[in-house]
Amino acid sequence: MTEFLSPQEAQQPHDHSRCVSHALDAAEQVCAREGARFTTLRKRVLELVWQSHKPLGAYDILETLSRDDGRRAAPPTVYRALDFLQEQGLVHRIASLNAFIGCASPEHQHEGQFLICLNCHIAIELDASPITAAVTGAAEAHGFAVQSQTVEISGLCAQCREAA
Ligand SMILES: [Zn+2]
Ligand SMILES: [Zn+2]
Ligand SMILES: [Zn+2]
């Protein structure tokens, strides 16, 4: 499998169809490994989440599905598909935006750390295991056992800072 774009590259104009096909390939592999069914709907929802590097809300996904199919998609179906994608690590949920972003490396188990641009709303996933370790360590100092952690950092991305 070809490498995904680095977060820096993903910010620049690029051939996004590559990102999408890599994401779908990785998803096929993860589901095959886990013995999970990558149904047409799950695949379609993942494709929609991957339409850009900006987190997408469940409502936007519903709207697009309904428009494409010419009939109203059932919300529970879409929520279940998103739950599945999240469980398989194929998408991350950005709580501060109540939205979902595709994961570029679902084959590796990891916690999510994101730089979220307040201007263009791009979310850049960091591969920063030292952050995970630091949070776990700080929590342990309080006798706290971390179950999951998603770090969301807001600010301005390089592109937007340049344009400002
Ligand atoms: Zn892309
Ligand atoms: Zn990820
Ligand atoms: Zn930006």
Split at pLDDT 50, 70, 90, the class of 7 is low
Which residues, 6 or more positions from 117, have their beta carbon under 8 angstroms from its beta carbon? 123, 124, 154, 155, 156, 157, 160
Split at pLDDT 50, 70, 90, the class of 71 is confident
Tell me what pLDDT residue 1 has: 37
CA of residue 73 to ligand 1 center, whole Å: 26
| pLDDT exceeds cutoff 80 at 12 | no
- Assess contact for 116 and 97: CB atoms under 8 A: yes
**Residue range 64-80: mean pLDDT, rounded:** 87
Distance CA 86, CA 80 (A): 10
Tell me what pLDDT residue 2 has: 40
**How is domain 8-163 classified at the CATH fold level?**
Arc Repressor Mutant, subunit A (1.10.10)
CA of residue 103 to ligand 2 center, whole Å: 4
CA of residue 115 to ligand 3 center, whole Å: 10
Token pair listed for 132: 């995970």
User: What does the domain layout of the chain look like in residue ranges?
Assistant: 8-163
Lowest pLDDT segment from 32-36, 126-130, 145-149: 126-130
What are the pLDDT digits (tens) for 26-63?
A: 999 999 999 999 999 999 999 999 999 999 999 999 99
